[in-house]
Structure 1
Amino acid sequence: MDERTIISSPDGVEQARLAALAGLGILDTPAEREFDDVARLAAAALGAASAAVSLIDADRQWFKSRHGIPFAETPRDVAFCTHAVASQALLVVPDAAVDGRFAANPLVTQAGGIRFYAGVPLITRSGHCLGTLCVFDPTPRAGLSPAQETVLRDLARLAIDLIESRRLRRMGEIAAKVVEATSDAVLAVDRAGTIVYWNAAAEGMFGRSRDEALGCDVEIIIPARHATGHRERFARAAAGGATRLVGTSLELVGARADGTEFPIELSLARWGEGGPDQGFAAIVRDISGRKALEEERSRSQAFLDTVVTNLPAMLFVKDCRTRRYVMVNRAAEAVLGRAASSLVGATDRELFPLYGEAYEQRDSEAVAARRPHVFESVFVRDDGEAVHLRTTRSLIDGPDGPSQYILGIAENVTATRRAEAEVLRLAHYDPLTGLLNRASHGERMERLLRESVPFAMLSIDLDRFKAINDQFGHLVGDAVLRQVGERLRRRLGAADWVARLGGDEFIVILTGGSLRDRARAESEAIIGELAEPFVTDHAVAHLGASVGVVVVPDDGTTTEQVRESADLALHRAKRQGKNTVCFFNAGMDRAVRDRRTLENDLRRAVESDGIALAYQPVLSVETGQITSAEALARWTHPSRGAISPETFISLAEESGLIDRLGDQLLRRACTDARDWPSHVRVAVNLSPLQFVSGGLVGRIRSVLEEVGLEADRLQLEVTEGLMIRDVERTFGQLEQLRGLGMQVLIDDFGVGYSSLSYFQRFSFDKVKIDKSFVDTIATSHTSRAIVQSVVELGRKLGMGVVAEGVETEEQMRLLLECGCTHLQGYLFSRPIAADAIRHLLARDSGSADHTVDLATTGVRRRGS
């Protein structure tokens, strides 16, 4: 049976499902991190090779996100997820090869094909099943445990929330753009009647710029003779009393800045959800022209009919009770591809069987909302052309009573989809918290600096926020960030502002007097407020905050200086402990600034391949010959001179340069060693952070192939600290490297987190005794005992033992007595350049006279 037959039904359920899926506008969209995270987490949580957020279209299965899947879609008739969509229930296939539904499926029969599958349907709040969150594996499994099934269902709910919130977010962005671009004046006031929003059309209509209007009483647009009556009506409406202003369109008289009056049509709606954070929004239209026509010709109705009929935007009117079309204009005929005579008198269910139910549902939502309702969808004409429509539905009064009709105005926004990137770029507010975003904050701060306005900047970083995301998920994390924004916003004065720069980073700007005192008081109050529990729908989260404070102009006069000073102060606050406030202090933060300068210099040095190598020989006790040389990184700063490796290697690790630097040094060491005698190996030190990405083995293999050095001539030195970071991951990579033929040495043994269990897990080729024990071997019985123990352990485990840091003949004699197999140190050679080590090795391998005699307690260099 064809898979499509499984979920098709005469009542059009499948067609409605496909329409709902298309209406989301998600098919064939670029990858998005939130969805990718869901697939990755599903695979990790269930231990599966592959996972996907799968959406079932009419003819295909398309992956919004995928993990471990090399293709983006499959034909629908081979998709496992089709069955899960049909049943709208969890589908688990323990072994597809023995399941009659799937045994012959090409996704199963191909090499490495699907054997195990589990999928949870993705069902929207409206009941439409869009697809599944699924995991699958090339190995059969017994099924899912209850815990695994719970995890998969939870992640499926997260996926469907992401899908639906994505649609709502796009709607909000588009609505904001329309309001700003409309030719009607749009303004909003708070409960006190203060203007808090003023669009471009309002500027032209009332002759007042946005800056002039914001913060003023709304009475600036009302003629003085009407002010008293306005105050009484507004106060009654603000207190929640009955008013005819809200929900209807009224003809009133407006006043321009120059005192002239003109007739306006006003539509008023409440905004906010109670409390102080609410008010009224108004759409105002200048009806001077219409009034002039009424006075001159008494033909206002004919004029309105003409305007509506020829309006460029699609316009329709429906009876609110019967939902039958009463009127459509010419633009509607053109967009829908049908004549007005075929539309008027019919309902959406009768006209558009596939979409009618959804259209009428939106009508119901507009009626329930009692305010303009905006929705975007895709309409497919009879000729097959798809048109993106953004429709605003509003209730309007009729001759038989209030809210008799539904007025719809639809715009063709197909071209808008192509301009979404520009719309986002122009957005001024953070979509999650509603606070100013980074760009808007930067513009405002630059204006303050340009106008020499003193201000204090509080740079706030949330403590433990990453743990909340990891423990409860991004849904809870987003809810916490929204509450953080609300708490910060409540503390602000009229001239202050708060911005979210991204992640868990917030900025508060204070202006006015007593900036230092106010900044300290506000910082401490903010820390106190953010320490209070955050109650969300899914969990109760606990946070802390660190605050770095700068006062302008004392701590900077340019954007770069202010940001750097705030960053340094915040860095010190976090270093001193959680819930701490630190003001910028030039002296205390100088070391951090210096380290950052050094980091920038190191970055340039790495980019120019300016880190050099020196080589220190390692001698065999048995033969006295050099058997290997350790490659040691050296950096000579142009003004500071030689920089300690301990300093610049740790700096490379902190700044994310270690992988690139490590690859450069490995390539140079292998290139130099290629010209050495074949019995001499080169030893390269590895940073623990080079193991984190998981790509180290492949990079080392590529370098060896590129340079042409045999793998058995490369030694890799790792420290004990590497093992405690991620034991399983570390030993797995070390085994792969050993499998390629390289030797692995454990360096600095005995001074870190020594554990004999390391030697049970992995057979190291050599163990290097730390220099601290060699330094005191002649004076400390403990050091000598430790060296003897390590030597004995190495002998029994078949490992070589290298003593590093040998500087005196007495140290050498004692190390020989203990039984060390290899020696390294200044007694034999300091680290030397590549040319010098090449000449030394040529002499050492060319004649026995150039070896070091280690058979006696003294050192004798023959032929030197």
Structure 2
Amino acid sequence: MGVAKKQSAKLTTDMFEDVPVLRRKWQAALKPGERLPRYEDVMLGSLGRLADHMVLLNGDNDAFAVSRTGRYAQKWLGDERWDIPMHVLPPDCATVLTEAASNAVKNSRPYQAVAHCVRDGMVRTYDVLALPTFSRWGGTLVGTYVNERGAQYNLLDAIFSTTEDGVISVSTIRDASGAPSDFQIVHHNEGAAKLLKVPAQGLQWRRLSEGGHLLCSELVVARLREAVAKGVRDQFEIDSDERSLRLGVTAFGDILSLTISDVTPLKRREASFRLLFDSNPMPMWVFDPETTGFLKVNDAAVQHYGYSREKFLSMKIREMWPQDEWVSHSQALRHLGEHYQSGRHWRHLRADGSEICVLTFGRRLSFEGRNAYLVAVVDITERLKAEARIAYMAHHDGLTNLANRELYQERLQQALEGGNADGKRVAVLCVDLDLFKNVNDSYGHPMGDRLLRQVADRLQSHVHGNNLAARLGGDEFAVILTSIASPNETSDFAGRLIHVLSQPYEIDGNEVVIGASIGIALSPGDGMSGEELLRNADMALYRAKQDGRGVHRFFEPEMDRQAQKRRDMELDLRHAFANGEFELHYQPLVDIASGRISGFESLLRWRHPEKGMISPAEFVPIAEDIGLITSIGEWVLREACNEAVKWPDQVKVAVNLSPVQFRSRNLVQVVISALANSGLSPKRLELEITESVFLAETEANLAILHQLRELGVSISMDDFGTGYSSLSYLRSFPFDKIKIDRSFVKDLAKRSDCLAIVRAISGLGRSLNITTTAEGVETVDQLDWLRAEGCNEVQGFLFSGAKPAAEVEQLLFRFGARSSKAA
């Protein structure tokens, strides 16, 4: 009960907070001189969780249709479809949506209404706020917010607390001024339809303004308005067709419960029992509280429970109870008062032996001159199953059916508490699939999802007992091993698991091969809390992937130190960019034939105020991981172009691009902006990329490279000869330059294989008309070998290391280039 109250209080609090927020947002979007704000200014951009509660209506006056709905609104409507007419919705939802939208449009301002929906015998009250807007495509769009109030009303309570005769519930419909203007029938029993002489199907959802029965008279409508206004009970009689009907009215906010009794003396008893019992679709019976025998059952009870009427009337009520509930049922029976309502759900037995879960409601009455008890039954079996399913889904991954992160953390905490008490270890294993991204990229995400399900099946088959396998997200899994005897036992398990997960998978006729890497943390040495163990296991996983993948690694304290160092560097990096601690140095590129500087490669440097110069090898990978490299790369482009425009016209500037910069999809615009702002000719800008640009999203990245090439910019392949160095890269894009990696130049005079590779790359460049540049030239012998093999360009310490911009002019003078721009 405490949880339910908290949830109810939260719903009410959210409603009271959300409605003012939406009103203010609508008002803030309304511009002077305009009748309505724009749809985009109100409904797009910052609704957050409120978007789940929105129903977007299009149309005007009373002709509205549902265009879009949020997840919460879809549950309220019972319909997940979009672009549907209003008449296909439940009438109670359609009525209030039309009312709110019509009044909002007519008044050109937000309009708040109240909806009363009946579900499973419960009246649920919803606040509905309509926000009228105009669309740039023409017409009116009404964003309608829906949220449930905390209070609910039970119609069964109203049935048993007011009358045994006809029962009708009506909801109040208010006009634009907020005054009650009409009433709509939202619930009734069959007896009410008979007393009013209207077919049941013609009564449900009818408005009283439509006429056709006694309740539509001016007298009745006036008394209903008064009851709503004062919130009091009322009782009066109306006469028609030689009958005298008594109407009892009870107000529950905007919901009115009407009881109708035929008080004609000869028909009173017959009518009251027939209306509430015989034709009621709810299973009902009358029993003797002394003998506990059944005295009468209705057709609904016979059909629902499967006992014949004769069998029912020969039974004791105890025969419907499971034996393990006899005591609790009997105690409840001994304490029956004038009225009864279930404080819990009960289990009942049907004729076929199956069990159902029910709520029961009753009242004491006189039946055929004896003390008796009338009982009505609500079967909640399916509702409980749905709730159990929801609870299961809240703790399990929807794709793989493994435990999700929430359940994993709960079970890990339980295992740690049990292990600490017994002095036993608990192992946490973080499992990451190797090459899974390649499967998604090659076969698509549906194939990736099927692969994840097969991985989950293999995990389930090897994780037994109190141990647990979970999916934490993406291709990340985790395992809890309880009561571990030794690290060797965990190591053996991890090795077996890697072997199992690395076996080929058969999916849609395709053989898919992936691998797995595992990081391990053991309590209590690697952590006492679940959070600490999971964090340390994740660090061990990172080490396993660094060590070549397909292996498992245990957590070591050094990993934590490295992780802390990385976190510190991430923080320093963000401060460095904000504080302008980066600078560019320039290393000359020398044309072998002329001996002159043909260009400079711009190299990023970080001058830390306390640690001094930090190597790019240390900070660039981290900047790429945290996404800062995109901003840094834009700064490098601008700075290099601004500097190069001061050099002689024949001298180029080379700028390295990170593969991460291609993901932003605005790289071409960044290059155009840097050239435009600096005034540098595109022909003097050379962009260097590595082969990793081709390893992901090849088509999109190729398109970007072609756009850059069309600008007149040169494109260079860096570090050629290492990694894959696929010749298909040279076919897929016409590079202007390929740079021979320094590792081949270093041993050029000592190793014949290095010479052969340099010779092959140089020959390839000549055949394809691509300039070849050798990196890392440090000796005259290396330069002579490169010249002999036909290499076009060189760079390295033999000529100069990377220098600050202020020293570029001196380098140009030293190599015979003019120190100022050519005339």
Give the TM interval when normalised to the shorter protein.
Answer: 0.3 to 0.5
| TM-score, with length taken from structure 1 | 0.45
| TM-score, with length taken from structure 2 | 0.47
